[in-house]
Structure 1
């Protein structure tokens, strides 16, 4: 209504208390609406939550146990999910109300909205009290009863001469927390065993392995006990996981049919990357191919030569061919074994994909096919195959007197089998080779969490004294917060 050029709102009286209000669908003031409508009806004001004192976890029905600190967002989400009736209202806010930590009470303040009386929106706040009840989780109950706790075991194996694949797999597991549900980890002579409290946890771990490694697996079960009265059976499950026995930098001869399926690739190729699939590179044509796990296990080929047979070469001359493929450049390279200097004048001329990485005077490692011993059965079927005298794999650097690295890697807590000889020279050599690969390969570092080492902040490395001679990991790739007490490190 307009009176004298001014707009005034018409008012009505509340149909119950007579208070002047603006017109609404209910014709009632908010106090009268709150007095007659309770939007919190159907939402319990008291509830319970179960807590295991041994492992400090809360039960998320039906069987999942969640690690959560007091007044954390994880605990708040768990408590809200336990309340019935919240799906009928709109949750606006939720927060904790302080209580004594030893009171076994958790109070949550909720603010909700609900539509009442034809488009009238009512908002209300209330508190819900949760009583913390103690209950042992299944894992702690089995440990307390001192029975054989694990129900499923995942046996990871790889039939190779070195342990670098397991070192990389360990870092992948740590980065993604895939081992958190494992009751124990045991190192065996030919691999690692992971023990789990349930079959589902073991299947989840096997699924993770399928995402990061080319594997095949099979399962078996063993009857432990049977209760004829309740018809209850207790089994133990074993999952046998085999990792493909080809590793990064291995030299491979592709089977004839597989080589033809890739358009005549190779057949002598270098394994450039191993993840969920296997990526190979032809050093002569610079072509790449990605071999899916199911394709690999169909042919089941193995390495012609592995990284322990690499020989150091000194580059004498590089003649570029002009071919490029990604970061690779084709070139004819003249090289000589570093061990032959001063002994003879033997040199080799080979075609390589490392033309963009090597120059005269550099050091590279490769396979000496001219004098090497390998299984000739692996190259059967390839007629008129002429092998190069040398296949260069990658550039390397002279190892100088290195004091200490400024970074470290975390390790899993592993129980070694009595037959495992830990700390031997071969394992130390594999560890050092793995650390060097991390320094030289940025793509390999993407799957690894690398931490600063506070104890070596003042140490000088070869990369700092000779930055053009040896690569190092940039400081911006290092993560703060390594606690050495968490477990042994990789160095």
Structure 2
């Protein structure tokens, strides 16, 4: 009985064999002749998977080729780019992919490195895991869409944006909205004309998408037309070119407007002589003498359109002599009784004007402001003739005016991006073209000054940090009273695709 108990407590003897490579003892029942470590060193489960591959990249539209013919937009080290890299590897379906990640490379090196971890069967009932790297060479080429853009008559749809005003401030703001929301990504070409911009597209759906964007950000009306390009009588197919004509309302920010009588009554019986305080998908008006506001949407305006009485180019500089707040406040506007005099009258006749304004929060005695001088002004307007001129103000103040030094305007610590546009119907050698260029530069400078003065307007656009030299030059004018843009409001300029 004791012998049986001794045999029962004795552990079973395990048969072991020695590894044929390193001599380490291992389980003999597994049927293997090599240990697990030696198998990992001698067997390559990644055999047949290439260590180098090519990625086709279009430098014009910054898209990668997804075989056979699709071009897709991928940011560096993104999921989409990683999926594209894995699809390019042949033989990857023979193993099990465990992990994949990018290895950092210089963005301009035209190299993309990916680290892969795979599992596979090396021998019978033996699964091993190995890690390796694959290097992709970015090959620059031109996609079919970009190739078409360099030839004539290849577009299928165009969006023509027009606004009949004497300045380009609205288009400059619209350009920044398009850039911020990347609404121009599908354009084949952009041309600048006398009264607006033309966007060309390879597909009708892309043009319709732009029309939807413009409708959401500006008071516009659109009209569509089509032209037959070719027709196949055998198959019954036809090709058309589509044109979307977009007209922006000719009312801009800071314009003085006389509302039609019925429209003013429908807008809460607001005073007919109002200022345009903001332009979005609607027109926003304010009565500077009562702080009453009204919003006019695009369909209402285009049912009975009306022009502006005076625009921002016709404003006159005034000097503030006295400010007496009345206590009425609505939002950021404070009603006040202001005594002003024209800057051109100081020292000559010293004529003063006692008016009521909505700028009581920012005006102080001695400040300069811009406004409309209505006294003894000949206005060619049917709506103005219907007003009771005895009760109209002599002066309508619009905004505070800041003195700027020329060096301050030249060197800023911020900048804006611009769209690449082609100039149509413009000869740079002509005198008229030079005048148009000087006018465009003045409009752009006024737009930049508006951004500096209005914090709410700056929040709707993307502003980028300027080079360090510009920041240094800007700091030289610390005594300039004009407002500045804080560094916390600026973005670092980074390209979406840095491969070049």
TM-score using structure 1 length? 0.74
Q: Distance in 2 between matches of 1:194 and 1:334?
A: 48
1:391 matched to 2:392? The reply is no
Q: Which residue of 1 is the match for residue 420 of structure 2?
A: 413
Name which of 209, 214, 236 aligns with 1:204.
Answer: 209
**In 2, Cα distance between the equivalents of 1:411 and 1:355?**
36
Whichever structure has more helix as a proportion of its residues is 2
Secondary structure in 1 matching 2:378:
coil
**1:479 — aligned with what?**
491
Indicate which of 429, 441, 444 corresponds to 1:428. 441
Q: Does 1:444 align with 2:457?
A: yes
The separation in 1 between residues aligned to 2:69 and 2:261, in whole angstroms, is 51
Alpha-carbon distance in structure 1 between the residues aligned to 2:365 and 2:308: 30
- CA-to-aligned-CA distance 1:183-229 (integer Å, 9 cap, x gap): 11111111111111111111111111112111111111111111222
C-alpha spacing 1:96/1:472, structure 2 compared with 1 (3 Å): closer
Note if contact 2:149-2:188 (Cα within 8 Å) is conserved in structure 1.
Answer: no
Q: Which residue of 2 aligns with 1:470?
A: 482
Deviation (angstroms), 1:65? 3.0
TM-score by length of 2: 0.73
Q: 1:358 is matched with which residue?
A: 363
Matches within 5 A, 1:283-298: 283-298=288-303
**Distance of 1:53 and 1:368 partners within structure 2:** 56
Larger radius of gyration: 2
Match of 1:343 in 2: 348
| Offset at residue 63 of structure 1 (A) | 8.6
The 5-angstrom pairing of residues 73-88 of structure 1 reads: 73-76=79-82
Counterpart-to-counterpart distance in 1, 2:162 and 2:234: 40
State the partner residue of 2:243.
238
Name the count of aligned residue pairs.
424
- Select which of 259, 279, 283 maps to 1:278: 283
Conserved 8 A contact 1:95-1:110:
no
Over 3 Å counting, the alpha-carbon distance change for 1:97 and 1:273 in structure 2 is: closer
| SS of the residue 2:344 aligns to | helix
Q: Secondary structure at the match of 1:437?
A: helix
How far the C-alpha of 1:425 sits from its partner, in A, is 3.3
User: Offset of 1:371 from its aligned partner?
Assistant: 2.6
RMSD: 4.2
Give the distance between the partners of 2:221 and 2:352, measured in 1 at CA: 43
Q: How big is the shift at 1:106? A: 11
Q: Distance in 1 between matches of 2:199 and 2:491?
A: 27
Whether the 8 Å contact between 2:320 and 2:366 is mirrored in structure 1 is yes
Corresponding residue to 1:174 among 166, 175, 179: 179
